[in-house]
Amino acid sequence: MVVTIIEGRELSYTLARILRLFNHRVNIIRQESEANVNSLNELGVNTIFGAGLDVDVLSQSCVSESDVFIVLMDDDLDNLEACLYIKNNFINKRTITKVNNPKYAKKFEQIGIDIAIDGAFISPSTISSDKEVK
């Protein structure tokens, strides 16, 4: 499975490490470089520098091949916008997003996001769940 993680700082690094243990291919889209990029490259994680809402970044072939997108930006509306772009422009892609305000989780799922949860609860089992992609 190919997973693209958008932003997320330390959470994205931790998820990437876990996903690589399960032999998933991982892309991380980051706004700016961070110290652990070399560690990610050593794990075989493809790091892309750019904005998570940038259409050109999301259209790169390594990103568009993804089966799952995990969106971990700091702003709920940015997360929603990225997920909706992915849902509307790529076919059969699972979207998982962090919500900073837990009240939004159910609303995000009603709008069409596959899984909307508090970032502290995102795990490999969430990504690999048998929940049907909408």
Structural domain containing residue 31: 2-127
Q: What is the pLDDT of residue 103?
A: 87
Q: Does residue 133 surpass a pLDDT of 70?
A: no
Q: What is the mean pLDDT of residues 99-103?
A: 88
Q: Look up the pTM and report it.
A: 0.84
Structural domain count, the chain: 1
Confidence at 120, pLDDT banded by 50, 70, 90: low
Q: Is residue 56 part of a domain?
A: yes
User: Residue 132 falls within a domain, yes or no?
Assistant: no
Which residues, listed in sequence order, are joined to residue 3 by a DSSP beta bridge? 26, 68
DSSP helix, strand, coil percent of the chain (3-state; round to 5): 45, 20, 35
